[in-house]
Structure 1
């Protein structure tokens, strides 16, 4: 059983009996594999503590610590009592065995209700895996911590502590559709036995970390991360530099767990839970990503539409253009038929306008402009070039759809609904490109149908001005 198969089976065992908690179980496991922490934000009674206890069973020989904090909690509850013997020797040290500094998996409920002394101590423990015990620092075996809260307060200490949790997962009550399954959930679950049979060791974590370190960050993914960073800044979503570094490590672990050597564009769908603090803003980031993943700027429907519209506007201009034909002396040239028709129209118009009075005879002449073969061939060549590039973009979107299908076959971390959203965007983009290609073909036919001069005048038209389709 390879790593992907083992993690798939382990995730399935962990989420057994939990209704609508697949995302939370799997992302909390991913965070633990990456050595990161998860914050669950939601009302009481939504299986937050149960999720943490299940995560503990995913790791072999991993000490577990759990504590509910209140406004009156003291450091001893988390870090252990003071050592009397050490005090007698003028040392301020704690007995940490069985407490948070000794734990591999920890669950801290109502974590933001702790006082500043506890939160400040937790900052170092969560980030550096060290605990200040007396005059020295004690290494901590912590793999991952899960925090739970009903709401995140807004103050300086809480903001720094909030940043220690790479994944922020909103937890809601079970939906109406899942309520029946909730009622039928058995009281006793055999989750521990199933998970323990697949539990990961420290060696497994070290091997996965080594694989993740070798995973490549492609330029396209790095560029999209940079674009998202700017987007977050514009939307006033603060994301620290430290968090971006941790995000890339998480993406590498996600790729390594699936047996890939490179971060996929689709892995970036994990970013809403890493960058945005709440459900509403995570949904906004998810929408931003879904609209961009797999679609380069040059292939965007908006850009291609502007290109097609430029050719259509030029077609309309040349189709409706009037022309006046002059002889070598500068006088208008008319055939007898054209002259008779023009005079008849002018006389009829003058009579109608006179309204019983004398009217001056006006002479007007209009004829659809005619074009030389050189002009028409130049227009058609430019359109053919654009059609070739549009066909290339259509093939590119088809390739992205194929890649997404392959990714889904080995998808371990992402919700199918989110992948459906991206797939729908790709299908919509493909349909739009096909429609734009049809419009461009129609414009091509219109240029071919322009009235022609009897003899080519050799005039080369200025190219139709449009956005460069060859741009990245």
Structure 2
């Protein structure tokens, strides 16, 4: 098989079945299944009684012939509880081996509750099992059929062994109690009929996992996506948040699997909304990463509203300067110039009527002459031409924003994995950006009209002066 439209439809139906009766758990269900498709593990962080174990049991029912293992750990737990009892017959033969049938090394899907309450001996054994899918049993290593482990905890560890184990869970998903808005639905769901597992036709088998893996290997990471990943990595490093290279590689694989499962041949920018649960350990820091992404996805830094506003302001300031400029000569470049004695005579005669006694008496000269500067067609054409270029670039960017919003709407309508709340927030930000850009375009148009209406030199005066003004200086727009 391949990851065709039919497979995508199967996944959509499977997810709908898994979510049935679970209130405000849509995103968690989808993330746990995506992690399983990618061969990764999920850690659910939250208080008891928030359906964490139910999520794991349902995930197990999504796979054909899957073996399920579940255990609640305490500080008194011993390895036998997870890995099986020691073999008496092997001990008689001086071998230290365990009977693993029915225990974690034999499981396809596993749920380990209060996972960080285990002692370091158990956690160290789990490190290899989760990462390598192998279990050290006696003198050899036993291959394990493990697809995915769901761990649950109330708190994030702060010791070295716990942190190493914490890093083995690619997805760290906070799970909180149902909100006030969902409380009535929660009570209604508690009175509903028992959940019906997925139909056999929807179940995933080894051939499905293999097909998704093969398709994901061919999925491309476009330069735009790689650039954003690199920017986020640098941002997190600046914030003092360490994300291991292994985690970045696994995150990129998860993005490829998400795209492949939907039948796409490349990772899209919207897929990066999956990143918070991969690169941040808790709800607060995941929200910060989400905000960072929302501010950058779908927009170009070179056309950020703040930068574009400064560009428009530069033209407005230049317009105000030229509108308020006074002139003793009507040189379009704004320089006082008397090019010939005749001009000096003409100017002196022009000023004669505005000369008076500075002290109110005769004989002293006082100039109170003032006239708005006038500009030639070359000057005005240079200014309006520069704004026309700016307006053309703004219009092009507005079209680009519209295309990004259309792409986002299409992704929102078809995605299997992305959180609709984040998608809605991103669309709102893009809409706000589009409105700001439209307002700045109107301001630029007003400035153009202002330049076009500047006082003009007569045709005869304009013929004498043809100096072009220096372009208005402003920040470059990428």
Distance in 2 (alpha carbons) for counterparts of 1:307 and 1:245: 40
Aligned to 2:469: 461
Contact 1:375 1:459 in 2 (8 A): yes
Q: Displacement of 1:191 after TM fit?
A: 3.3
2:440 aligned with 1:436: yes
Q: Which sits farther off after the overlay, 308-317 or 10-19? A: 308-317
- 189 and 71 in structure 1: CA distance in 2 versus 1, 3 angstrom threshold: farther
2:221 aligned with 1:223: no
- 119 and 378 in structure 1: CA distance in 2 versus 1, 3 angstrom threshold: same
2:71 aligned with 1:67: yes
> What is the number of residues matched between the two proteins?
461
C-alpha root-mean-square deviation of aligned residues, in Å?
A: 2.0
**Matches of residues 39-188 of structure 1 in structure 2 within 5 Å?**
39-186=43-190
**Matches of residues 255-266 of structure 1 in structure 2 within 5 Å?**
255-266=259-270
Q: Displacement of 1:452 after TM fit?
A: 2.0
- 350 and 436 in structure 1: CA distance in 2 versus 1, 3 angstrom threshold: farther
TM-score computed with the length of structure 2 as normaliser: 0.92
- 35 and 453 in structure 1: CA distance in 2 versus 1, 3 angstrom threshold: same
Distance in 1 (alpha carbons) for counterparts of 2:363 and 2:143: 106
Contact 1:19 1:174 in 2 (8 A): yes
Local SS of the residue matching 1:446: helix
Summarize deviations over 1:306-325 as a string: whole Å, max 9, x none.
Answer: 21111112111222222223
Aligned to 1:395: 399
Distance in 2 (alpha carbons) for counterparts of 1:40 and 1:333: 88
Summarize deviations over 1:380-409 as a string: whole Å, max 9, x none.
Answer: 111111111111000000100111111122
- 189 and 41 in structure 1: CA distance in 2 versus 1, 3 angstrom threshold: farther
Local SS of the residue matching 1:81: coil
2:413 aligned with 1:409: yes
- 47 and 376 in structure 1: CA distance in 2 versus 1, 3 angstrom threshold: same
Summarize deviations over 1:423-448 as a string: whole Å, max 9, x none.
Answer: 11111111111111111111111111
Structure 1: where are the runs of 5+ without partners? 352-356
Distance in 2 (alpha carbons) for counterparts of 1:137 and 1:394: 59
Distance in 1 (alpha carbons) for counterparts of 2:193 and 2:271: 32
Structure 2: where are the runs of 5+ without partners? 330-336
Contact 1:324 1:332 in 2 (8 A): no
Q: Displacement of 1:334 after TM fit?
A: 3.8
Q: Displacement of 1:132 after TM fit?
A: 1.1
Aligned to 1:354: none
- 205 and 91 in structure 1: CA distance in 2 versus 1, 3 angstrom threshold: same
**Matches of residues 233-382 of structure 1 in structure 2 within 5 Å?**
233-325=237-329, 326-327=337-338, 328-329=340-341, 331=344, 334=347, 339-340=352-353, 342-343=354-355, 362-382=366-386
Summarize deviations over 1:312-358 as a string: whole Å, max 9, x none.
Answer: 12111222222223533595854767543x34xx66x866xxxxx99
Contact 1:57 1:192 in 2 (8 A): no
2:211 aligned with 1:207: yes
Q: Displacement of 1:261 after TM fit?
A: 1.0
TM-score computed with the length of structure 1 as normaliser: 0.93
Distance in 2 (alpha carbons) for counterparts of 1:339 and 1:46: 92
Distance in 2 (alpha carbons) for counterparts of 1:156 and 1:141: 28
